[in-house]
């Protein structure tokens, strides 16, 4: 236990004491805080005045009417239409637009059909929608007069609305999707970042022959478990500060957030979901750290670390791909299997539990298998580390390494 404490304290101090770690953590915290303050910052530049009413005068507009009768019927709607704003045909109106004599053009074929012409259409333009609404309302008023329907009767008819509400007994996928995906990406970053860090550290010790000294002064179990535990705590501290900054920033600015976003966050972070997310993320993270540590001890040169850990990285990326599939089809066979198999459940089960009601039996089975694999990979990594401390030279196939490590005494 004493050896474990010494190794754990040393590795944790080394990892948290790195300048890159401190700077990266500070940058991430500042970015997260800035994002949480973004709605408040945007509000400072908002005039806060009432929204402008849409313009319906259609200034600098040109018109083409199918006939004089149509022009006379539409003139009360359009207001005063100067003679120079009326063109004989569509081609003349198009020429006026190209010459920039008018800003927009309308070609009316009847009292409900028209074409809007632009030279360059601005992205925020609502001209066509305004004209359509104006013609529709005018047509409705004429039909009301013809049928003898009063404005009050029409308002009563159009004001009739059905009212309904929804109750979600399980998971609201729409609300949970964004938060679940963000937390999934967080786990992805932590595993790859610290996993590669552990394998690189062990490979560097072997490359510099430091491993030979360490293995003679302490047991391999203390070395491996101490390094993995230190990496686990370092990750919790670093990314815990980032999450804490996000929570504090949100609490300070939640009154500036849209109601829909507040409802999404409050509805997603249930105690059940957080328990599933924390258990599978932490245990899966530890399991992958043991794998990275084991493979880092199989190489004798630093430049071989990437190729040695490629298989584990591929497995983890595969788990990420399965989790994105589970986001859309959480109850499919692939998603269910992926949420139970330990190598993929680290990513799939938390996301699936956010998108669907997972049977408690599947969660218990997946959790038991995850714990079993953590213990197995911890045992295997200790054996491989001990084997690697005594074997230098050319790279060996992973299958042979495992067989030799398990057989080694």
For residues 35 and 247, the answer to whether their CB atoms sit within 8 Å is: no
User: Same domain, yes or no, for 220 and 367?
Assistant: yes
d(CA 300, CA 303): 9
d(CA 86, CA 188): 64
Q: What is the mean pLDDT of residues 265-278?
A: 75
- Please indicate whether residue 350 or residue 398 has the higher confidence score (pLDDT): 350
The last residue of one of the domains, among 153, 186, 207, is 153
Which structure tokens are listed for 376? Answer: 């197995």
d(CA 282, CA 279): 6
What is the predicted pLDDT for the residue at 175?
A: 64
pLDDT digit string (tens) for 233-254? 888 888 888 888 888 888 888 8
User: Same domain, yes or no, for 102 and 247?
Assistant: no
- Domain range for residue 395? 2-37+171-407
Q: Is residue 217 part of a domain?
A: yes
Q: What is the mean pLDDT of residues 166-185?
A: 69
Res. 64 pLDDT band, cuts 50 70 90: very high
Res. 51 pLDDT band, cuts 50 70 90: very low
User: Same domain, yes or no, for 216 and 85?
Assistant: no
Res. 169 pLDDT band, cuts 50 70 90: low
pLDDT higher than threshold 50 for residue 54: no
d(CA 49, CA 262): 24
User: Same domain, yes or no, for 298 and 201?
Assistant: yes
User: Same domain, yes or no, for 303 and 333?
Assistant: yes
Cβ contacts of residue 399 below 8 Å, gap of 6+? none
Res. 268 pLDDT band, cuts 50 70 90: low
Q: Is residue 111 part of a domain?
A: yes
Q: What's the total number of domains in the chain? A: 2
User: Same domain, yes or no, for 189 and 226?
Assistant: yes
Q: What is the mean pLDDT of residues 99-114?
A: 90
Q: Is residue 162 part of a domain?
A: no
The last residue of one of the domains, among 125, 153, 181, is 153
What is the predicted pLDDT for the residue at 92?
A: 93
* CA-closest candidate to residue 316, choices 182, 187, 180: 187
pLDDT higher than threshold 80 for residue 74: yes
Return the percentage of the chain with pLDDT > 70, whole number: 82
Give this prediction's pTM.
0.65
Q: Is residue 325 part of a domain?
A: yes
What is the predicted pLDDT for the residue at 55?
A: 44
User: Same domain, yes or no, for 175 and 149?
Assistant: no
Which structure tokens are listed for 15? Answer: 């990892």
Alpha helices in 80-126 (DSSP H): 90-98
pLDDT higher than threshold 80 for residue 37: yes
User: Same domain, yes or no, for 107 and 235?
Assistant: no
pLDDT higher than threshold 70 for residue 386: yes
User: Same domain, yes or no, for 137 and 185?
Assistant: no
Return the percentage of the chain with pLDDT > 90, whole number: 13
Mean per-residue pLDDT over the chain, rounded: 80
What three-state secondary structure class fits 86?
strand
Q: Is residue 236 part of a domain?
A: yes
pLDDT digit string (tens) for 321-367? 898 888 888 888 998 999 999 999 998 998 888 888 889 999 999 99
Q: Is residue 42 part of a domain?
A: no
Q: Is residue 197 part of a domain?
A: yes
User: Same domain, yes or no, for 364 and 257?
Assistant: yes
Res. 156 pLDDT band, cuts 50 70 90: confident
User: Same domain, yes or no, for 196 and 340?
Assistant: yes
pLDDT digit string (tens) for 131-146? 888 888 888 888 888 8
pLDDT higher than threshold 60 for residue 396: no
User: Same domain, yes or no, for 99 and 197?
Assistant: no
CATH number at residue 78: 3.40.190
Q: Is residue 215 part of a domain?
A: yes
The last residue of one of the domains, among 91, 119, 153, is 153
């Amino acid at each position: 236990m004493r050896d474990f404490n010494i190794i754990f304290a040393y590795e944790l101090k080394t990892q948290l004491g790195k300048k890159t770690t401190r700077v990266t953590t500070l940058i991430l915290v500042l970015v997260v805080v800035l994002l949480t303050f973004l709605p408040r910052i945007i509000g400072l530049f908002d005039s806060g005045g009432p929204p402008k009413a849409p313009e319906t005068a259609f200034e600098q507009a040109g018109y083409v009417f199918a006939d004089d009768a149509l022009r006379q019927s539409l003139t009360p709607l359009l207001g005063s239409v100067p003679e120079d704003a009326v063109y004989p045909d569509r081609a003349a109106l198009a020429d006026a637009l190209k010459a920039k004599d008018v800003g927009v053009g309308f070609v009316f074929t009847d009292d409900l059909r028209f074409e809007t012409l632009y030279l360059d259409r601005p992205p925020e333009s609502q001209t066509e929608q305004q004209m359509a609404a104006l013609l529709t309302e005018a047509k409705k008023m004429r039909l009301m007069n013809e049928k003898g329907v009063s404005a009050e009767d029409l308002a009563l008819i159009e004001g009739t609305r059905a009212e309904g509400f929804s109750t979600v007994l399980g998971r609201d996928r729409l609300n949970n999707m964004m938060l679940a995906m963000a937390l999934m990406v967080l786990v992805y970053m932590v595993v790859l970042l610290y996993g590669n860090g552990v394998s690189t550290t062990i490979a560097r010790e072997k490359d510099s022959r430091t491993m030979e000294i360490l293995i003679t002064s302490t047991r391999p179990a203390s070395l491996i478990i101490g390094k993995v535990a230190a990496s686990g705590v370092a990750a919790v501290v670093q990314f815990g500060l980032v999450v804490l900054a996000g929570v504090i920033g949100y609490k300070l600015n939640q009154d500036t957030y849209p109601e829909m976003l507040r409802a999404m966050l409050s509805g997603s972070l249930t105690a059940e979901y957080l328990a599933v997310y924390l258990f599978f993320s932490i245990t899966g993270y530890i399991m992958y750290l043991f794998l990275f540590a084991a493979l880092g001890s199989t190489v004798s040169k630093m430049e071989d670390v990437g190729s040695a850990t490629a298989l584990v990285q591929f497995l983890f990326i595969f788990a990420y791909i399965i989790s994105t599939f589970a986001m859309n089809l959480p109850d499919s066979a692939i998603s269910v299997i992926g949420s139970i198999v330990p190598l993929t459940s680290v990513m799939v089960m938390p996301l699936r539990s956010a998108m669907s009601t997972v049977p408690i039996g599947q969660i218990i089975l997946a959790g038991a298998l995850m714990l079993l694999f953590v213990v197995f990979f911890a045992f295997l990594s200790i054996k491989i580390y001990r084997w690697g401390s005594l074997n230098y030279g050319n790279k060996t196939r992973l299958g042979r390494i495992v067989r030799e490590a398990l057989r080694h005494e």
